Amino acid sequence: MMKISPMLETLLKPALQTFESQRILARIWGRHYRVWKERPEEIVNRLGWLDIAERMKEQLPRLKRFTATLQKEGFSQAVLLGMGGSSLAPEMFAKVFGVSPGYLHLRVLDSTDPGAVLAVERGLELEKTLFIVSTKSGGTVETLSGMKYFYNRCLTKMKPAQAGAHFVAITDPGSQLEKIAREFNFRDIFLNDPNIGGRYSALSFFGLVPAALLGVDLGELLSRARQTMKACEPWAPLVDNQAVTLGLLMGELAWAGRDKLTILLSEPIRPFGDWVEQLIAESTGKEGRGILPVVGEKLYPVKEYSNDRAFVTIQLGGEKPMELKLDALERAGFPVLRMEIQDIYDIGGQFFIWELATAITGWRMGIHPFDQPNVEEAKVLARELVAAYQRDQHLPEMPAVTPEAAGVDDFLAGAEVGRDYLALHAYLTPSAKMDKVLNELRTRLHERYHLPVTVGYGPRFLHSTGQLHKGDGGHGRFIQFTADAKVDVVIPDEMGKEGGALTFGILEMAQALGDAQALEKAGRKVLRIHLGGDAIGGLKKLADSIS
């Protein structure tokens, strides 16, 4: 169910007329690449998500057998090694759906932070753990580093012939990972439809394999997705097409300067926001344009917001604690779009709504919603820094300040309320305590400077919002946090062999420095704050200094 404010109804009408006159929906379903660009690259081979919910039905028996075999063999835990589109849907399934009795507890490692790697390892009984190595390209450095590390850890408890049975791969056909999986006798290889980009892959093997291990009812999830898909086909009534309404409004609002899309979710489905954040940011943030998704932010009083904001809510049936505040926002002239789902399985339909909506927004904004042209820049710079480290045995020095001398006021001088935003990039060990202090800092910064403030852990965010930060209109300012690793961890050079020339800590720092360089190269303002050996204490000091 969807409800839009009168302001949005007025905005929607002319956009819908143009949309219909150009037959955009029929052309999208017909895979016509000229909806977006004059060249077919990364369009004609990126539209497999349109009907994947229908095609995955035939894979359900395989996924059921796969899960049952693991249960029979005594597996009780799974670790997903992946980044961005390979990790965000599985993480959402784990957090929103939880684990059904008798199924596998799932943890996601989407970090090169050595503290994060060790935190995952500490909770594992390796003999009962399955590792899901998940990467579309088959060569993602973070994912393969984790794979090599945990494969070697398994060898401390079992023989090579047994270790392969503790790994599965999800990847595109012909990838490097497929070759590795065959060489090391992985238990299974799930070859995904290569015509689906990572951030559109939630209803493919990338999302459904880990969901199956958790005990999610995949039949019901896909059924909800197919129902929504049918309602969004070109011959269905447009009044029932929530994706068209959402997609056109996101585009129209962006053109009107309301390009900070604030997404508010009922508490039980809040983790769905991280998946939406990547989809919108990486799809729309390019060619000097972009929509900044603001997720995880508390709902402030009306006076705290500027005219660059628009609001979308997804509320679980019967749970509407935000209604009074949303009404106040509407009365104050803010665009508010309200969506409601009956239960968590409606997320199957939400995946499709947001994917199609984002593709439609790409048309309206005149951008390519399926590529990520700026993501590679930070990767290239990080690789150069790693090569420099291997040659010189140290990373190049880059300017950084301490929390006590951060100079946030000077850094944000001239930032324009109603246009600019602030992003916090935390190359730190994720934890509940870290989340709390980062969110406290986020709140302090918003209340003092009246800018939208987003938070992302590095290098995780490089695969989601990193594209937007470098490809949008240049209205972001960026505070990067780094810290000293308390304990570092060696990345094996090869699976099954001891020793390595690189550590997770060095890789993480190279990624942080490479990202800072890429931002500066794109003309963005970056403040690097090094927190030393006490990251949480340093963040608290910084938050206390901001009144």
Q: Measure the CA angle with vertex 500, ends 496 and 504; round to 5°.
A: 105
Residues 21-67 pLDDT 10s: 999 999 999 999 999 999 999 999 999 999 999 999 999 999 999 99
Model pLDDT, residue 427: 98
Give the confidence band of 406 by pLDDT, cuts at 50, 70, 90: confident
Model pLDDT, residue 379: 87
Structure tokens at 302: 């009306």
For range 67-73, the mean pLDDT: 98
For range 141-151, the mean pLDDT: 98
Residues 239-257 pLDDT 10s: 889 999 999 999 999 999 9
DSSP 3-state percent helix, strand, coil across the chain (nearest 5) = 50, 15, 35
Residues 362-372 pLDDT 10s: 999 999 999 99
Looking at the predicted structure, is the pLDDT value of residue 410 above 90? yes
CB 316 within 8 A of CB 268: yes
375-544 has CATH 3.40.50.10490 classification = yes
Q: Domains of the chain: which residue ranges?
A: 2-30+231-365, 50-216, 375-544
Residues 117-129 pLDDT 10s: 999 999 899 999 9
Half-sphere exposure of 487 (CA within 13 A, CB side): 6
Looking at the predicted structure, is the pLDDT value of residue 286 above 80? yes
CATH architecture, domain 50-216: 3-Layer(aba) Sandwich (3.40)
* Measured CA distances, 50 to 31, 55, 195, 291, 294 (Å): 9, 10, 10, 22, 26
For range 538-546, the mean pLDDT: 95
Cβ-proximal residues to 382 (8 Å cutoff; 6+ apart), any chain: 507, 510, 511, 513, 514, 515
Q: How buried is residue 237: exposed, middle or buried, by Cβ count under 10 Å (0-12/13-18/19+)?
A: exposed
Amino acid at 353: I
Give the confidence band of 350 by pLDDT, cuts at 50, 70, 90: very high
* Residue 64 falls in which region: left (phi positive, over 0), alpha (psi -120 to 50) or beta: alpha
Give the confidence band of 375 by pLDDT, cuts at 50, 70, 90: confident
CB 477 within 8 A of CB 422: yes
Neighbours of 301 (CB within 10 A): 10
Give the confidence band of 376 by pLDDT, cuts at 50, 70, 90: confident
Model pLDDT, residue 279: 98
The class (CATH top level) of 2-30+231-365 is: alpha beta
Model pLDDT, residue 483: 97
Residues 306-326 pLDDT 10s: 999 999 999 998 777 788 999
For range 174-195, the mean pLDDT: 98
